[in-house]
Structure 1
Amino acid sequence: MTTDHDGRPTLVLIHGTNSNAYGWSGLINELALRGRRSVAVNLPGHGDDQFIPRSYQAPQDLEALATEPSPLAGITIDDYVDHVVEVVRRARRHGPVILVGSSQGGVTVSRVGNAVPDLIDRVVYIAAYCCVDLPNMLSYLETPENADSLLPLVEAMKVGDPAKLGVSRINWRSADPAAFHAIKHCLAGDFTDEGVRWLANMLEPDETAAIPVTDARGEAHTWGRVPRTYVRFTEDRLIPPALQDRFIAEADRLTPHNPTDVRSVAAPHVGPFHRPELVEILADLTNPTPGTAPSNLAREEVSGRG
């Protein structure tokens, strides 16, 4: 295999549930202007390959939306991992790879870390699920640290039975005012109303139902060898800061020789779409000389908030 290794790290960005690579576009643009290299991955069944049910379009047919089959029903975590591993292998030809996951994307990051730890120079969780002691996302949803989560507001927007559809289908375009309230308060935080509407139209209706119940624990002898950063979102109402802190504490107990590099940003759950602080942190992690001190803004966020 030929390589063109220039030593510069490549950020491989993994989106969360019901989302796609487009959500990283603003971040990628800013990183590019700083000379940083990054690539946003569309997981199988997302982005260019997403499925939009006919009944989801205006005018909506809610009865049909509850039963219309989805091709995402057959997608598993193994499909996600295989796809990301191939991207990592290609990026690795040009230098170090930093694998970044947001929200549910943390499940894929951990599984890829288990699969190919020698191809990854760092894993980064951005307000993401990082399963260690408990087997899967669903287990953590039932913990005391998750008690303040507003996820039930979004769960109420689901259409159809995930057990029958094989997907979690959310009607982001619902005309019910409760749906707008759920998106704003659970996901968007300080977004303007216009920003909330933009978000609702960017999110995808279908997500395979298998991921939250899939074993996603990081293993000490593989994933645990890879340097790790966790970016806490202190205003997150979907994954509360207490749950994020639990992920960090569990990971550190599993790998005391490899403690988590923790950064904090005052952002809601979808903060990656517009937070300059996150640009600073990722730019810092891709400095040509590893281990250099955080930039001033990143240091301020780490020490002064959360």
Structure 2
Amino acid sequence: MTPTFVLIHGSNANSFTWAPMQRELALLGHRSLAVDLPGHGFDASVPASYQTRDEAELAHAPSSLDGVGLGANVDHLVATLRRVKEHGPVIAVAHSRGGMTLTAAANRFPELFDRIVYLSAWCCVERTPREYVALPENAGGALDAAFGAAVGNPAELGASRMNWRTGDPALLAALKHALLADGTDAELRVFLGTLTPDESLDSGSPADRADPATWGRLPRTYIRLTEDLSIPIALQDLFIAEADALTPENPFDVRTLATSHLGPLVRPEGTAAILAGLA
């Protein structure tokens, strides 16, 4: 039977992020479904002050993601997968932070997946995300640039909040370097326009790391992005090495593309060709 690609977005993103990839997959003859995790897409928390660029008000506007954690993401994804699975095999593809949701869901319900794919995505095996960030493999990572866009107190908001509508030229240049160094300024501005300000504070617990008994028995692919400055290639390779050590009888199928963190979402042809091959 023809598989369905289920696409899981990263931080502050949504199903819209995947539109170019879905177009390319369709042109290659493949079916896909892009998920909006809770508090994302048209359910996102977008205060009026974000539209008006009133940063003082934006810093205190309530967030709909307050109290929404990784468990809610998993429940939503699993409910979607149950429906998709009725129509044939499922290949789940996660980008960036979406890898945390993918791992946690595959831990709990491996029977809903036929293959899992990490597209320069977090794949926590031995450590928490905070611990991975502190490792030498993350040295040189440029993602800290994004925190220049941070607004408000996460403890007050119950979520992290970014002002992607910034007009600060230095911050925009830093974001481009971190996220889309191989793209144009216009492409970056368009992509930032698809993002929403709020993201959940919950990145899971030790129980949400890769479980060899469930997650570990699934066929899995890691698509390395060698020019990624947000999740450096050394950190991607550490995720792969730790996972392979956890289940040496079932190692990652590893593919490589020379592009930035957002490169596959803006120019999806190379990634779509890899995914089509997996189908």
TM superposition shift of 1:34: 1.5
Alignment TM-score, normalising by the size of structure 1: 0.88
Alignment TM-score, normalising by the size of structure 2: 0.97
Aligned residues: 277
Unaligned 5+ runs, structure 1: 1-6, 287-306
Return the match for 1:222 from 214, 218, 222. 214
2:183–2:263 CA contact under 8 A, matched in 1:
no
Question: What per-residue deviation string (whole Å, max 9, x for no partner) do you get for residues 172-215 of structure 1?
Answer: 1112112211221111111111111101211111111112x544
Residue matched to 1:27? 21
- Structure 2: distance between partners of 1:177 and 1:167: 26
Residue matched to 1:207? 199
Residue matched to 2:87? 94
**Is 1:56 the counterpart of 2:65 in the alignment?**
no
Three-state SS of the structure 2 residue aligned to 1:250 is helix
Residue matched to 1:10? 4
1:267–1:275 CA contact under 8 A, matched in 2:
no
1:15–1:103 CA contact under 8 A, matched in 2:
yes
Residue matched to 2:125? 132
- Structure 1 residues 1-306: aligned runs within 5 Å: 7-58=1-52, 60-134=53-127, 136-211=128-203, 214-215=205-206, 216-273=208-265, 274-286=267-279
Question: What per-residue deviation string (whole Å, max 9, x for no partner) do you get for residues 92-119 of structure 1?
Answer: 1111111110000000000011011112
Higher relative contact order (CA 8 A, sep 6+): 2
Q: Match for 2:241: what amino acid?
A: A
Deviates more, 1:243-252 or 1:28-37: 28-37
Question: What per-residue deviation string (whole Å, max 9, x for no partner) do you get for residues 101-154 of structure 1?
Answer: 0000000000011011112111100000000011x2112111110011101111
* C-alpha RMSD over aligned residues: 1.0
Question: What per-residue deviation string (whole Å, max 9, x for no partner) do you get for residues 236-291 of structure 1?
Answer: 000000000000000000000101000001111012211311010011011xxxxx
TM superposition shift of 1:72: 0.8
- Structure 2: distance between partners of 1:52 and 1:119: 32
Instruction: Calculate percent identity across the aligned residue pairs.
Output: 49
- Structure 2: distance between partners of 1:52 and 1:112: 27
Q: Mark the structure with the bigger radius of gyration.
A: 1
